[in-house]
């Protein structure tokens, strides 16, 4: 039987939730194996992204106790997107399909059944889409939904209310491997791959334990990363603002000349002050946006590794595939 499923789960300081995540994933994987939807070679792979607590020790213990669990230890903390990519790229040669999800159990693991069904029906990519956010505060819900709308408006093609809970086939993973960006925003890159895709909706739950790894500051940083790594629309917006300011300045010049020939040569200081501040602010904003893109180019040209795997707890499974 083929249909080997790997579930990759990035972890950063997740010792409080890891045991429960492993328990629920074990039950779900064993259920799918019994139903013969997936192979008994399927695995749950935890990616340790430079955790400072006992996360890696717990992953090693899980692997020792049950071959269903495996682990990847990164050489240092690389951030969620790089850790996720490390998991996907490391396991793609062993899996027919890979599901990525977070360790906090906010994404409903029961949606895995529907994802696998859609894969078996011919889909290469299945997106987990949050239908409701009842457990989120109004502020969190508002900012999260605004995040997706702004991203799409500025040219980053994302699936609304989809984070990183998705299924990808081996073919889709091979397509993802061809994207060499150092500045990663997988939510925008994956839709570029193409191939038949579908969605599965689920209700977002409360975090089982621990603290969120994506507070507002990190969400804003992720949004900036996504926009500037996937779209040049912000630079085009600056160009548009530049033209608008130019036309306003022409109108002001005409107005001042008319006032001059009418004999009203005294000009109010307020209009001058406002103009100086407005143009100065626009210039600083423009320099900042252009600088962000130059910084991205600088990092891309260096071609630094996006992740370095220190160890992979899967040697015996590798031999089984040879």
Sequence-separated (6 or more) residues with CB below 8 Å from residue 46: 9, 11, 18, 55, 59, 62, 69, 70, 71, 72, 103
Across 197-206, 268-277, 286-295, 308-317, the highest mean pLDDT is recorded for 197-206
Task: For residue 320, name the pLDDT band (cuts at 50, 70, 90).
Answer: very low
Q: Provide the pLDDT confidence category of residue 321 given band limits of 50, 70 and 90.
A: very low
Phi (first) and psi of residue 31, to 5 degrees: -65, -45
Please state, rounded to an integer, the average pLDDT across all residues of the chain: 79
Residue 282: per-residue pLDDT:
72
Looking at per-residue pLDDT, the higher value among 16 and 156 belongs to: 16
Q: Taking residues 115-124, what's their average pLDDT?
A: 93
Name, of 98-102, 133-137, 154-158, 233-237, the range with top average pLDDT.
98-102
Residue that is written with structure tokens 């500025």 in the block: 154
Whether 172 and 193 have beta carbons less than 8 Å apart is answered as yes
> pTM, whole model, 2 decimals?
0.71
Q: Which CATH class is domain 5-230+306-321?
A: alpha beta
Burial class (CB in 10 A: 0-12, 13-18, 19+), 270: exposed
pLDDT of residue 1 exceeding 60: no
Sheet holding 197-203, edge to edge: 197-203, 125-132, 162-169, 97-100, 5-11, 43-48, 69-74, 309-312
Query: Which DSSP helix (H) or strand (E) runs through 49?
Result: none
* Euclidean distance between CA atoms 148 and 129, whole angstroms: 12
Out of 199-203, 246-250, 271-275, 294-298, which region has the weakest mean confidence (pLDDT)?
271-275
319: pLDDT strictly greater than 50: no
At 322 the pLDDT is 38
pLDDT of residue 215: 59
What are the residue boundaries of the structural domains of the chain, listed by start?
Answer: 5-230+306-321, 233-302
Note whether 46 and 71 are within 8 A (CB).
yes
Nearest by Cα to 231 from 197, 191, 178? 191
> Is residue 162 pLDDT above 70, yes or no?
yes
Nearest one of 186, 185, 182, 183 to 303, comparing CA atoms: 182
pLDDT at 286 over 50: yes
Check pLDDT > 70 for residue 217: no
What is the torsion angle, in degrees rounded to the nearest 10, for the CA atoms of residue 64, residue 67, residue 68 and residue 73? 60
| String of DSSP letters for 218-258 | HHHHHHHHHHHHH--HHHHHHHHHHHHHHHHHHHHHHHHHH
In this predicted model, what pLDDT tens digit does every residue of 45-74 receive, in sequence order? Answer: 999 998 898 999 999 999 999 999 999 999
Residues linked to residue 6 through DSSP beta bridges, in sequence order: 43, 98
Query: And the tokens for 185?
Result: 């925003």
Inter-residue contact 166 to 116 (CB < 8 Å): no
């Amino acid at each position: 039987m083929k249909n080997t499923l790997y579930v990759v789960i990035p972890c950063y300081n997740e010792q409080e939730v890891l045991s429960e995540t492993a328990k629920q994933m074990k039950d779900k994987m064993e259920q799918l194996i019994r139903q013969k939807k997936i192979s008994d070679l399927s695995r749950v792979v935890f990616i340790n992204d430079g955790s400072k607590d006992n996360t890696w020790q717990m992953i090693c213990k899980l692997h020792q106790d049950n071959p269903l669990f495996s682990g990847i230890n990164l050489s240092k903390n690389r951030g969620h997107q790089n850790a996720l990519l490390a998991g996907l790229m490391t396991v793609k040669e062993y899996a027919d399909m890979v599901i990525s999800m977070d360790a906090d159990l906010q994404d409903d693991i029961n949606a895995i059944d529907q994802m696998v069904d859609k894969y078996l029906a011919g889909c290469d990519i299945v997106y987990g889409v949050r239908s409701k956010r009842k457990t989120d505060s109004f502020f969190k819900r508002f900012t999260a939904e605004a995040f997706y709308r702004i991203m799409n408006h500025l040219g980053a093609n994302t699936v609304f209310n989809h984070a990183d809970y998705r299924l990808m086939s081996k073919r889709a993973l091979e397509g993802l491997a061809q994207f060499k960006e150092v500045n990663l925003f997988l939510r925008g890159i994956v839709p570029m791959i193409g191939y038949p895709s579908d969605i599965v909706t689920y209700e977002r739950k409360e975090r089982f334990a621990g603290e969120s790894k994506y507070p507002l500051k990190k969400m804003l940083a992720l949004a900036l990363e996504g926009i500037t790594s996937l779209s040049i629309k912000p630079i085009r917006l600056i160009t548009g603002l530049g033209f608008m300011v130019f036309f306003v300045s022409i109108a002001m010049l005409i107005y001042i000349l008319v006032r001059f020939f009418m004999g009203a040569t005294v000009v109010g200081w307020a209009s001058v002050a406002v103009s100086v501040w407005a143009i100065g602010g626009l210039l600083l904003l423009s320099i900042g946006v252009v600088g962000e893109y130059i910084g991205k180019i600088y990092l891309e040209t260096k071609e630094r590794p996006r992740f370095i795997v220190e160890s992979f707890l899967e040697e015996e499974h590798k031999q089984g595939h040879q």
